Amino acid sequence: MTVMKLTMINCWIILKTVTLVSAYPSQQFLPGQVKDGEYLVGGDMIFPTHNMMRGVAQSTAGTRWTNGIVPYVMSTAFTAQQQTLITGAMRNIERLTAISGRKCVQFRPKIATDRYSILIKTGRGCSSHVGQNTGWTGQLQLTLQVSTTPQSSHCMYERTIMHELLHTLGFNHEHQRSDRDSFLTINYANIQNSYVFAFDKLTSANSDNQGTPYDYNSIMHYGRKAFSSNGQPTMVPKNPTATIGVKTTLSPIDIQEIQKFYQCK
């Protein structure tokens, strides 16, 4: 899991199926499409078109929420049960990252004096802006698709919500770390042609690994068959005993990285 240095990134996932093995899609927007003035690249992340063209980058501090507090507005379109699931995921992150009972990060309802906040709403796919994004003038959003029929895809799983909330906190995918080639073999022949871009590797110029080891167990890691065109693995751990994309909560390294990024002691 890496901290992003890039201004304004979104995670935009259109779910076709959701499983504990890989709570991520086999369908997404195609690269090169523009959605609400933002350019879709890198799997499930979106850049504003103007930043994409200029390659704008900023320090990690620009994505850190002030004092580790994430104000939010919850859409009333969610049922009471769905709201409880979302806030439960927030409380779990707070509890797991707390040090000696003191919260490292906190999600709370927006108040009048908050300059930045995240709007948690229903919509198509699972998505979140990455970090506080102090250079962004629009409303930051976290979108969670809800089920309309028993068979329809949705984001109402605690693992998926926690994954999106870590994007909100400023973190990227583990399998796109700048050093991932030392830990993963990417099988490009098995990847759907339209989604090869989902395996783009970040650089040290636009991400910060914070000196932590690669984490196969990160909640931010996709599974072995993500975007597979033939049912075969698209990425294989170089450690033969490692599993990826199966954890349902924060790993110890996820916790460590949040604490380091938010300078919690």
154 labeled part of a ligand binding site: no
* Span of 75-79, 126-130, 241-245, 258-262 with lowest mean pLDDT: 126-130
Q: Return the bridge partners of 38, or none.
A: 35, 48
In this structure, what are the phi and psi dihedrals at residue 73, rounded to the nearest 5 degrees? -120, 125
In the three-class reduction of DSSP (H, G, I as helix; E, B as strand; rest coil), residue 85 is classed as helix
If phi over 0 gives left and psi between -120 and 50 gives alpha, with beta otherwise, what is residue 42?
Answer: left
Active-site residue flag, 164: yes
Whether residue 163 is annotated as binding a ligand: the answer is: yes
Burial of 126 (0-12, 13-18, 19+ CB in 10 A): buried
Fold of 3-261: Collagenase (Catalytic Domain) (3.40.390)
- Per-residue pLDDT, 130: 86
- Over residues 13-72, the pLDDT tens digits come to 333 222 222 233 333 333 333 444 443 333 444 434 333 322 222 345 668 999 999 999
Is there a contact between 176 and 200 (Cβ–Cβ < 8 Å)? yes
**DSSP state, 117?**
-
* Residues 219/250, Cβ–Cβ less than 8 Å: yes
What does the pLDDT read at residue 161?
A: 95
Decide which of 133 and 50 is more confident. 133
Q: Which residue has the higher pLDDT, 97 or 128?
A: 97
Q: Is 221 annotated as a binding residue?
A: no
What's the pLDDT tens digit per position in 213-257? 999 999 999 999 999 999 999 999 999 999 999 889 999 999 999
Q: Of 38, 158, 164, 257, which residue is the catalytic one?
A: 164
pLDDT of residue 4: 59
**% of the chain beyond a pLDDT of 70:** 76
pLDDT of residue 198 exceeding 50, the answer is yes
Sign of the Cα pseudo-torsion (200, 201, 206, 207, in order): positive
Confidence at residue 60, expressed as pLDDT on a 0 to 100 scale = 56
Average confidence (pLDDT) over 106-114: 97
